[in-house]
Structure 1
Amino acid sequence: MQPPRCCLFVLLLLCLLLVSGTWADLEESFTIRLLQTSSFQNTTFVETEGLGLLEDIELGSLDKHTWTIRFHQPWVRPALPRSDWDTIQNMIKIYLQKFTHLINEGAMQRAVPYPFVAQCVAGCELFHNMTSRSFAYVGYNGQDFLYFNVGNASWILSQDTSLSRYVQAILQNYTAFSELVEVLFNDTCVDDMEMLLRYGKTVLQRQELPVATVFARTPSPDQLLLVCHVTGFYPRPISVDWLRDGQEVPPGPALNTSAILPNADLTYQLRSILAVDPHDGHSYACRVRHRSLGTRILLIPWGNSEVVLIAEIGAGLLAAMAVAAITTFCVWRRRKHQQMGETESRNSILSKEA
């Protein structure tokens, strides 16, 4: 049996051809992930879905009926001429035909029960200094199965089973494929992602301000749960803390912060819950830091909404207001002293005349 052209082959070719600029002005790391999910219902019915992601931005997907690429961003297709996209479409169709045949053949030889799902994730993370970290994983029925060690160009077992050893042996003996994967990881991913980053710079730099509210729940008379709900922010990274009397509350059983969850409008949300004694006499506030705020900090005290407006003004503007207030006070004092001096002088003249 011929060695299978693993799903990573088409995924990495997509990486090669989807992302072919400079991105030195984007001072952070970016990750491309290429996903393939093939559901084998039986030997004659297989449904395959594919998706390409740059961070959390969907670049394109694979039509499961026609095996053609559907572009989700208007700036993806212009990265390459039409003829190149036509070549990719043909390569995907040929690959999926062979992939389906070889997986079915291997499943029958190893008596793998149907239905089952094969998954592949491949991609790379690029840093602003042009270094990179590459990865490739193969899954079976939602479990880690194999992964590719880029350092020594070898396939490593994630689980030791008869099926995983069988697939590992096929891939490991196919040295030409492993060499191709290594080249694509070490060179192509870095070189060709620049074009995509340049075309998609505006989308990648999109920022949405977080909206935060604090409210309370009382599950029992002796316990108060303070809830800080933060939503509508983009990009995903965010810092949410609780302050007790102005000091940060350390991690512990009383503090529970949810995972960052997506909203329908392509923004994110989370909740941070702090359990307190209703009569402990302390003051509490939720503090939010996010890239869209710049140097500003959202500070939402429990039970005092006025401070929110002050906190949202930002440190720079607060400093300017402080300087303005001090200047106004100094001018006022100087004028008052002048007025007092003039009054004393006038009174002295009047007393002499009298």
Structure 2
Amino acid sequence: MRLLQTTTYQNISFANTVGLGLLEDIKLGYLDKHTWSIHFYQPWVRSALPQADWDTIENLLRIYLRKFNQMINEGAMQMDIPYPFVAQCMAGCVLYPNRTSQAFAYMGYNGQDFLSFNTKNATWTFSQDTKLSRYVQSFLQNYTALSDMVEIIFNETCVDKMKMLLHYGRAALKRQELPVATVFARTPSLEQLLLVCHVTGFYPRPISVAWLRDGQEVPPGPALSTSATLPNADLTYQLRSVLAVAPRDGHSYVCRVRHQSLGTRSLLVPWENHSTAPTIGITIVVLLLVATASAGGFWWWKHRKGNEAAWEAQELII
């Protein structure tokens, strides 16, 4: 489970905060940037915890955000940090199959790693050694109330709440959507053909996409590239795998897709090489033109011979 925070500081008096809660890749809720209250994406999320727990979580978030903004603005003034800038936080916990758990908390500054929280000994360590990172680290270490709150939330509350959310969100987490694969070709040059396997509409996220050449899997190499798995608007995923081959190399190619929703089966999509079709079509057209021209020439030759015979007959009569 992850809680994501992005705060943009336009100046010392204005900051815009966006907050999002995720269970695996399912959006649980978001933070209203005006009221700092929680709004739920899934109907089962509110039912997972008593309303009193949600009220407590909202109050803790408001306290944290006020202190966080105060700390960042004070640090920016003392360190002469120019506005605007962006601060990001990611915190949460992981529950492993053996029922052990681990909490985590990270801070970022302008898209770079900044600080991380060691939940075992409740200490902050900086990823980049700067005046600002030392100031924030010192502030957090001395602000024991915040550190204690973070430690309690992540080492105890986070795992307990996540177990409840896992119970109520079981159906959403076990959702499966079949992948749809399409194979097509691109020709960036006369010497190269790019075979593209586009796979979309699948859930959950893990998937295996490979190319088979004459039934054998193509090994990793410079000719093979696979994109990152990207989200779709309907909460499914997509990716594409591209294989560079020589045109008319005589091999057969198949895109193989393996996914949890397919069970033990594999989705096999062959590349249909239609490159000979235009050649055949052009040949047929040429043959038809030749045949038409030959027929026309033969008719003209016969017509001319007929006229010559008529003239010869007329001369004999005369």
User: Normalised by the size of structure 1, how large is the TM-score?
Assistant: 0.73
| RMSD (Å) for aligned C-alpha atoms | 1.7
Q: Are 1:207 and 1:233, in contact at CA under 8 Å, matched by a contact in 2?
A: yes
Q: Distance in 2 between matches of 1:293 and 1:176?
A: 50
Deviation readout 1:212-262 (Å, 9 max, x if unpaired): 111111111221111111111011110000111111111000001111111
Deviations 1:50-108 (A, max 9, x none): 11011111101111111111111101111222233233333333333333233222221
- Asked if 1:55 is matched to 2:21, the reply is no
Aligned residues: 273
Cα offset, 1:176, TM superposition? 5.1
Q: Tell me the distance in 1 between the aligned counterparts of 2:144 and 2:52.
A: 30
Q: Is it true that 1:280 corresponds to 2:259 in the alignment?
A: no
3-state secondary structure, aligned to 1:218: strand
> Does residue 145 in structure 1 map to residue 114 in structure 2?
yes
- Paired position in structure 2 for 1:189: 158
Q: Distance in 1 between matches of 2:152 and 2:108?
A: 23
Measured after TM superposition, the shift of residue 178 of structure 1 is: 3.6
Q: What residue in structure 2 maps to residue 100 of structure 1? A: 69
Cα drift, residue 209 of structure 1: 0.1
Which among 259, 282, 287 is matched to residue 290 of structure 1? Answer: 259
| Contact persistence 1:49–1:63 (CA under 8 A) | yes
User: Contact (CA 8 Å) 1:287, 1:297: kept in 2 or not?
Assistant: yes
Q: Which amino acid aligns with 1:90?
A: N
SS of residue paired to 1:235: coil
- Distance change >3 Å, CA 46–CA 166, structure 1 → 2: same
**Separation in structure 2 between the aligned mates of residue 96 and residue 185 of structure 1, nearest angstrom:** 17
Query: Is the 1:214–1:302 contact (alpha carbons within 8 Å) kept by the matching residues of 2?
Result: yes
Structure 1 partner of 2:6 = 37
Counterpart CA distance in 2 for 1:151 and 1:90 is 25
Q: 1:66 to 1:151 in 2, by over 3 A?
A: closer
Residues 178-204 of structure 1: per-residue CA shift (max 9 Å, x gap): 454344333333233111001001111
Q: Mean Cα displacement is larger for which, 107-116 or 149-158?
A: 149-158
One-letter amino acid of the structure 1 residue matched with residue 30 of structure 2? S
State how 1:59-98 maps to structure 2 within 5 Å: 59-98=28-67
CA distance in 2, matches of 1:283, 1:210: 23
Counterpart CA distance in 2 for 1:156 and 1:289 is 41
Show structure 1 runs of 5+ residues with no match.
1-31, 305-354
CA distance 1:89–1:152, change in 2 (3 Å): closer
SS of the residue corresponding to residue 76 of structure 1 reads helix
Q: Give me the whole-angstrom Cα distance separating, in 1, the residues matched to 2:249 and 2:95.
A: 48
The more displaced of 55-64 and 187-196 is 187-196
Amino acid at match of 1:225: L
Task: Give 1:177 deviation, angstroms.
Answer: 4.0
What residue ranges of structure 2 are gaps of 5+ in the alignment?
274-318
Greater length-normalized contact order (CA 8 Å, ≥ 6 residues apart): 1
Alpha carbons 1:130, 1:190 under 8 Å: kept: no
Larger Cα-atom Rg:
2
1:123-152: per-residue Cα shift (whole Å, max 9, x none)?
122122112232211011111111112344
Q: CA, structure 1 residues 168+98, in 2 after alignment: closer, same or farther (shift >3 Å)? A: closer
Aligned residue in 1 for 2:193: 224
Between the aligned partners of 2:91 and 2:72, the Cα distance in structure 1 is: 19
Secondary structure class of the residue paired with 1:47: strand
Matching residue's letter, 1:159: Q
SS in 2 for 1:41: strand
Query: Which structure is higher in strand share?
Result: 2
Distance 1:151 1:94, change over 3 A: closer
Question: What's 1:243 paired with?
Answer: 212
Summarize the Cα distance change of 1:190–1:91 in structure 2 as closer, same or farther, 3 Å threshold: closer
Q: Which of 104, 127, 132 in structure 2 is aligned with 1:158? A: 127
Counterpart CA distance in 1 for 2:44 and 2:196 is: 40
> 1:150 and 1:96 mapped to 2: Cα distance?
20
